[in-house]
């Protein structure tokens, strides 16, 4: 929303106030990061570099030694920001278009590197001049004010900004326009100049951060309970407490990975019909907040892990390393990505075994690997169904095309049925006799699992699948009925 504020009278005002020159004769100088954009171009460049040339990140401290302006220049030289997909402040952008139509002189003045600033100005087609950082001068604060004064040769100007660093510019501006201002900017700007408008559409709250942590994904980590469940030791309180600690530690670590993955996948997520609404991709949560969340989550995760046997920490560390590798490059390799996803799910079972001191059986690990390979392929197929509906042929950031859909379905259904075969072989093995009073009853799990796996694929082909099959299963009544039937069979067999 936009609010006009008359600081002297304390009332909202509409239209222009009397002044010596018409608004159209007063240039409007516009900041970029956090004002025109809902994001920060510097952090965008860093994460894009990490995605495409991670091996160069070690040079960042060397660049910073030569100054922030040089650092920004080096980043801009190495990456090309996709300016068309960046999250813009739409209400403010609409206002700028109206000002341009008056016509009014608009000037983009930003601390971002000149390459980025000119690319955004060319994309929008709104600005008459662009002032930006070069390899030697970081155009923020007093440097920005000096450049504006030189350009305008003493002419009065209005300035649109959002942060405390903009206060030095507002000190000499005729009027201020605040766009999603920080608390410091909102407090001090009215003391320096008259605030004409405040654009505020902040959606960043606790719910946004919880969404970024993907708490809805935490149920996946209940897999750490499988070893004590299959060993029929879930009523042993010491083991149950260890499994709960393992669940919390794994979930916090997974959330850290989700945040990192979202930061590295900003460009790809913005091209995805559903993922573009994620908090970081949409510019709802500042990128530097995400960068701060990662170490906090990891410290909490591994601190809990210290309360468990050392083997659990080793498995958790291995999970973290593999997920980093997955985010960095594995996800871009056809089929290796889905095998890795299946392996990461199975690693949760291994971690649960290390936490409770119960080694998962060969049967459990083989069953898990095939079942989760099936679900990973469902996930990829579901992504392609959405893209096909939007007229897109390839999955951004992944090596999959719409033409691969029949192959993915064939491979996934085969993996699902192989998991049923492993279960059938387990029921026919001597190992089951020590676990159940009526082991043959466990056979009933095979047709139940066949039904569920087949139904999942039919649902996916129809385009009714959530992009994550486990999330879909948690919301699907039929899946809950299948689970209830499975638990009933195990209870009878026990």
Indicate which CATH number applies to the domain containing 51. 3.40.50.1000
Phi/psi for 329 (5° steps) reads -150, -25
Q: What is the DSSP letter of 476?
A: -
Q: CA 303 → CA 26, 134, 250, 306, distances in Å?
A: 57, 44, 11, 5
Q: For residues 220 and 470, what is the distance between their CA atoms, to the nearest angstrom?
A: 7
> Which among 429, 289, 408 has a CA at the least distance from the CA of 366?
429
Residue with tokens 């993907």: 214
Residue with tokens 């999330």: 471
User: Strands 129-133 and 5-6, how do they pair?
Assistant: unpaired
Tokens representing 78 are 């190495």
Q: Is 182 in the same domain as 231?
A: no
| Residue 301: domain span | 206-493
Residues 6+ apart with CB under 8 A from 29: 107, 108, 109, 148, 157, 158, 159, 160, 169, 173
How would you write the pLDDT of the chain (494 residues) with one tens digit per residue?
444 443 333 333 334 444 434 666 899 999 999 999 999 999 999 999 998 888 899 999 999 999 999 999 999 999 999 999 999 999 999 999 999 998 999 999 999 999 999 999 999 999 999 999 999 999 999 999 999 999 999 899 999 999 999 999 999 999 999 999 999 999 999 999 999 999 987 677 889 999 999 998 999 999 999 999 988 898 899 999 999 999 999 999 999 999 999 999 899 889 877 788 999 999 999 999 999 999 999 999 999 999 999 999 999 999 999 999 988 788 889 999 999 999 999 999 999 999 999 999 999 999 999 999 999 999 999 988 888 887 777 766 678 898 999 999 999 999 999 999 999 999 988 888 888 889 899 999 999 999 999 999 999 999 888 778 888 888 899 999 999 999 999 999 98
Torsion sign across C-alpha atoms 470, 474, 479, 485 = positive
The percent helix, strand, coil of the chain (3-state, each to 5) is 65, 10, 25
Q: Is 169 in the same domain as 269?
A: no
Would you tell me how many other CB atoms lie within 10 Å of the CB of residue 463? 11
Q: Is 192 in the same domain as 244?
A: no
Q: Is 355 in the same domain as 293?
A: yes
Long-range contacts made by residues 90-93, C-beta under 8 angstroms, separation at least 24? 91/1, 91/2, 91/199, 91/201, 92/35, 92/36, 92/160, 92/179, 92/199, 93/36, 93/124
Q: Is 121 in the same domain as 219?
A: no
Q: Are 482 and 452 in contact (CB under 8 A)?
A: yes
* Domain end (from 172, 199, 226): 199
Q: Would you give the distance in Å from CA 409 to the centre of its chain?
A: 27
> Which among 418, 488, 417 has a CA at the least distance from the CA of 452?
417
Q: Are 37 and 199 in contact (CB under 8 A)?
A: no
Q: Are 238 and 307 in contact (CB under 8 A)?
A: no
Total domains in the chain come to: 2
What value does the CA radius of gyration of the chain take, rounded to a whole number of Å? Answer: 28
Q: Is 173 in the same domain as 296?
A: no
pLDDT computed for residue 397 by the predictor: 65
Q: Is 87 in the same domain as 24?
A: yes
Phi/psi for 130 (5° steps) reads -130, 125
Q: Is 158 in the same domain as 57?
A: yes
Instruction: Report H helices in 131-215.
Output: 141-152, 167-170, 183-192, 206-213
What DSSP string describes 365-433? HHHHHHHHHHHHHHHHHHHHHHHHHTT--B-TTSS-BGGGHHHHHHHHHHHHHHHHHHHHHHHTSGGGG
Q: Are 7 and 190 in contact (CB under 8 A)?
A: yes
Q: Is 280 in the same domain as 402?
A: yes
Q: CA 252 → CA 146, 186, 217, 383, distances in Å?
A: 47, 35, 11, 26
* Domain end (from 176, 199, 222): 199
Q: Is 340 in the same domain as 428?
A: yes
Indicate which CATH number applies to the domain containing 225. 1.10.357.140
CA geometry: angle at 362 spanning 361 and 364, to 5°?
A: 65
Q: For residues 178 and 192, what is the distance between their CA atoms, to the nearest angstrom?
A: 13
Q: Is 227 in the same domain as 135?
A: no
pLDDT computed for residue 421 by the predictor: 96
Strand spans (E) along 186-267: 194-199
Tokens representing 262 are 């979202």
* Domain end (from 199, 224, 248): 199
Q: For residues 375 and 156, what is the distance between their CA atoms, to the nearest angstrom?
A: 62
Q: Is 477 in the same domain as 366?
A: yes
Instruction: Tell me the pTM.
Output: 0.85
């Amino acid at each position: 929303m936009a609010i006009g504020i008359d600081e002297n009278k304390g009332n909202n005002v509409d239209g222009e106030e009397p002044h010596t020159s018409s608004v159209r004769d007063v240039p409007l100088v516009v900041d970029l990061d956090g004002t025109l954009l809902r994001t920060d171009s510097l952090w965008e460049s860093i994460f894009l570099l990490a995605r495409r040339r991670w091996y160069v990140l070690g040079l960042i401290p060397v660049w910073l030694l030569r100054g922030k302006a040089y650092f920004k220049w080096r980043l801009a030289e190495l990456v090309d920001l996709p300016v068309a997909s960046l999250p813009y402040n739409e209400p403010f952008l609409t206002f700028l278009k109206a000002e341009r139509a008056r016509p009014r002189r608009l000037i983009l003045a930003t601390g971002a590197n000149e390459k980025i600033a000119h690319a955004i100005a060319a994309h929008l087609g709104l600005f008459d001049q662009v002032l930006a950082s070069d390899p030697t001068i970081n155009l923020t604060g007093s440097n920005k004010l000096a450049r504006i004064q030189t350009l305008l040769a003493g002419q009065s100007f209005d300035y649109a900004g959002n942060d405390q660093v903009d206060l030095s510019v507002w000190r000499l501006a005729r009027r201020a326009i605040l766009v999603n201002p920080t608390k410091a900017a909102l407090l001090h700007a009215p003391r320096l100049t008259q605030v004409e408008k405040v654009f505020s559409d902040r959606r960043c709250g606790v719910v946004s951060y919880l969404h970024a942590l993907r708490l809805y994904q935490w149920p996946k980590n209940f897999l750490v309970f499988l070893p004590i469940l299959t060993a029929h030791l879930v009523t042993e309180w010491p083991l149950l407490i260890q499994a709960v600690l393992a669940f919390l530690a794994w979930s916090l670590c997974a959330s850290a990975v989700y945040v990192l993955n979202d930061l590295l996948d900003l460009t790809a997520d913005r091209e995805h019909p559903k993922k573009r609404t994620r908090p970081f991709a949409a510019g709802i949560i500042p990128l530097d907040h995400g960068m701060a969340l990662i170490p906090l989550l990891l410290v909490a995760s591994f601190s809990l892990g210290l309360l468990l046997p050392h083997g659990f920490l080793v498995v958790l560390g291995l999970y973290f390393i593999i997920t980093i590798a997955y985010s960095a490059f594995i996800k871009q390799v056809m089929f290796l990505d889905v095998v890795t996803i299946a392996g990461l799910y199975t690693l949760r079972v291994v971690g649960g075994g290390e936490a409770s001191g119960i080694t998962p059986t060969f049967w459990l690990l083989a069953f898990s690997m095939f079942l989760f390979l099936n679900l990973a392929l469902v996930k990829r197929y579901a992504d392609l169904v959405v893209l096909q509906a939007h007229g897109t042929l390839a999955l951004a950031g992944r090596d999959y095309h719409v033409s691969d859909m029949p192959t993915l379905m064939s491979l996934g259904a085969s993996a699902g049925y192989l998991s049923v075969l492993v279960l059938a072989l387990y029921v026919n093995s001597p190992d089951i006799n020590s676990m159940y009073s009526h082991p043959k009853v466990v056979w009933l799990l095979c047709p139940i699992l066949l039904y569920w796996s087949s139904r999942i694929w039919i649902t996916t082909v129809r385009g009714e699948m959530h992009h994550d099959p486990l999330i879909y299963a948690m919301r699907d009544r039929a899946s809950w009925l299948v689970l209830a039937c499975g638990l009933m069979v195990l209870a009878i067999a026990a």
